[in-house]
Amino acid sequence: MFVLPTFGLGVIASPTVPTSVFDDTLTFPTIQVFDNESEFIDQTDAPDYTIVHAKDTDKLYVWTGSAWYLYNNDSTV
């Protein structure tokens, strides 16, 4: 049997020049949704293994502490 983990879901609209676009009040692991990839892709202050969904690319990204890794959900098994 496969059990999916439970995630905290945070939705962030276009913020007004915050020090960080990531919501540190969310519990680990987090999934945050952004309208555009450009809102987070240059950020390097995300907690390790933060999962992000960008609506404009319809892709999932995972921060590993040093880089964003892209998960392409368009592929089939």
Q: DSSP states of 8-76 as a string?
A: EEEE----SS-S-SS-TTSPSSEEEEES-GGGTTT---SPTT-EEEETTTTEEEEE-SS-EEEE-TT--
Q: Give per-residue pLDDT as tens, 24-44.
A: 776 667 788 999 999 999 988
User: 73 in a domain, yes or no?
Assistant: yes
Q: What is the pLDDT of residue 71?
A: 84
User: Does residue 12 or residue 31 have the better pLDDT?
Assistant: 31
> What is the tally of structural domains in the chain?
1
Q: Give per-residue pLDDT as tens, 45-70.
A: 888 888 999 999 989 999 988 999 99
Q: What are phi and psi of 38, to 5 degrees?
A: -65, -15
User: 53 in a domain, yes or no?
Assistant: yes
User: 5 in a domain, yes or no?
Assistant: no
The parent domain of residue 63 ranges over: 46-77
User: 75 in a domain, yes or no?
Assistant: yes
